[in-house]
Each structure stands twice: as C-alpha cells, then as structure tokens.
A and B are shown apart, each in its own frame.
Chain A
C-alpha cells in the first residue's frame, strides 16, 4: 500500500464528507426545531436524485442546471409534508411521530419502486465528467463538483441561520418555542420554513449526487443512516457539528474501507455512532 493510495482515500473521503454534511444538516435543522427525526430523509434524497435524473432523461437537462428546480421541488415537498403530516403530530406521543415519518418513508420508497421499478439508473455523460490527476492522485470531477457544491450550500445555510433575521428567528424557535412566540416570531411558519430548508438541502445534495451515483428507489437508506450517525455525532440540532461529523464519517468510511475491508466500512461508521451515543450522548460537538 503506497502513500498515494492512502492520500487518495483521505481526499475522496473528505469529498464525500461534505455531501454527507449537507444531508445531515437538513436532518439536524428539523430535529433542532421540533425534536422530530425525519425518518423519510433518505427518501427525500432518493426523490431529489430521481428528479435530477428525470430532468436529464426526459428533457436532456443536466443535473447541474436543474439543481435549482430540484431544490425548489424538494422545498415544496418539505412544505407539503409539514402542513400535511408534521403539523398534526407535534404534540403526539413519540411513537406516533416516529411511525408517521417512517410510514412516509415506506410510502415514498414503495411508490418510487412502483412508478419507476427497482432498477439502477445513471445519468450518462453528465456535463462534468472524467477525472483529474493532481500529483499522482486521481479525483473524479463530478465528485469534486458535488463536494464543492455541497460545501457552498452548507455555507449558505450557515450564513442564513447565523446572519439573517429570519435565520435568527429560526434559532430562537429551536431554543424555546414559547419565548420565541412571545417575541412575536411566527413559530408555526418557522417550522414550515425549517422543513422547506431542510428538504432543500437534501435536494441540492441529491441533485449533485445523481451526477456520479446510481439512482434507484432504495438509494436513500444508506445515506439516511449516515445522516443519523452524523447528526448524533455532531450533536442533535447543531448545524456546524454536522459539517465536522460529516467529514469525519467520510474519512472513517474511506480509510476503514481501504485499511480493513470495503464491506465493513459501514460497520465502522455504525460503531462510531454507538460509541458516541454511549459515551458522549450530547455528540462530539454538541451544545447541550
């Protein structure tokens, strides 16, 4: 095993990590707001990948060009889910909350399978393809674009949340709904906004992923699992924690796959989750 291979693994892990971070950020935002875990998060990702795929297959629009539309569609989905389902179960027992989003996941996945069959599909000849060689290290261009795109999306999200008035209102709602409401913040609308933004994050990540990843109805599951791990690792509700956790998972996955065995890479990631929730339940970078 040469040094190049290890460096190669580290860099690919890092690139994937930014994608994980944006997916996890969407999940974390929603959880931070209303303490509901969106178990349909992976299915949101799957739908965004299919959206990008169909824009390419039917209209010949590259996933990179259709990205804003995909993100907007997902934001719309987030709004529909919030107003159709989530708003009614905010005060329901946790079992009902888990089952509602789980049921939604089962529904969306089965629907995708029914409409589009379980086949694996790929976007052939996307706008950006091929690879570049830097100092003996090969990097896929789509991966670089996806990674940079996700990092940009993440930065936008972070700036929005920490620098704008609406973002601060979101944070206030997450910290204490009643107090925020007394300060004149329309908390119901903040919840809806949270779902829209959370889903849009997944939309961006999914649109970018579709340029180099297979698109199929089950695709969301593994990404969702990684997102849960990232969110737990970063501390539930902490957006910046997601970035660090996402990158850490990307690295652990890539290096573990290289040094131990590719089929065990998820085992290592899951082990990481268990270790964190047992020994540091507030997450590695959690505020609590």
Chain B
C-alpha cells in the first residue's frame, strides 16, 4: 500500500464512531512502527552496501594486478622472441592467455558488483526520500489529531447553552454584522467630524465678519432694498 493510502486510512480511521476519537491512534502507531522498520531496513541496506563495496575493491585490486601482469609478461615474451627463444616465448604467451582468461572472469565479477552497488545506492536514496516523506506525513496526522482535540474542547465550551452558536453560517452572519456595525460607527464618526468642523468654520467666518453674524429679518430687508435700488 502506498504511504498516502496508509495515511488516508489512518486519518479517516474512526470517522464512523460518532463523537469518538476521529484520528485512529492505533493506525498512527502502526505507521510509526512501519517507519521504524523502514529505518532499520535502510540501515541494513547501508551496511550491505558497505560490505559489497569492500568486496568490489578486492576484485578491483585483482583486475589491476592481472592487467599489470599481462603487460609485464608481454614484455617478457618480446624479450624472449628478441633472443630467438621461440619456445620460451610460447610458454610466456600461454601464461598471458591464462592471465587474460582470469582477467575476463574477474572483470565480469567487477561489472556485476558495479551494477549492484549503483542499484543499491539508488534504492537507499529512494528509501531515504520515502522515510522523510513518511516522517513528515505522520507528524501532520499527529498534529491534526492534536488540533482536533483542541477544537473539540473549544466547541464544547461554545455549545453548552446555545447549540446554534456552532452553525458556521450564523457565525458568519454575526461577524458580518459586527463588521457592518464597525463600518457604520466609523462613517458616523466621519460625518460627526465633518459637521463639527463645519460648525467651527461658520463660527470663525462670523467672527471675522465675512459671514453676517446675525442674519435677521431687518438685515435681509436692507439687502433686498439695496438690490432693488441698483436695478
């Protein structure tokens, strides 16, 4: 089963047991056990890799030795031929053939090790990634379990007297109403501010004699008379 699927199972765990622990703690424990097992398997794989690499080094050394011996004996064979000792040269050449045969075998083993090492390394990297991902996911599942407990506590505090307190749409309405009230208050405050500053301006204009300080019936009549005389 994939990690995601297991986590999914863990997370939905007891969802059917109404009011009971929703996150299945048993499933989390199993996951954690699997995680520990994977970590152990990873360690074993790393140990395995170390011993295979040691063996590979041994074979590697043999291959180098054989290659060196072949070069060495090739020189001997040439020297024997130079001296006209054809049968000695043939013996050396036979020896070289033995070495080459052995080299081919050892090279084959070396190649086999090489493949094994690189596939083991790949596997180890892969399981390290898996373990990291699993670690993260398990911690998220555990975290959400804690958050859930916290929320259960909170809603238990809320509910008690009034169960409609818990309705999401009601809550939203209440928040919107509060926001509206706040905005109304703010705009009322702005209106009030401008009114008062308006009053203030009028008073200052009157004081400065720019606006009639007393707008009375007689002053208006005077003004109208002046207008009529001008026309």
A and B together in one complex: no
Q: Which residues of A contact B (CB under 8 A)?
A: none
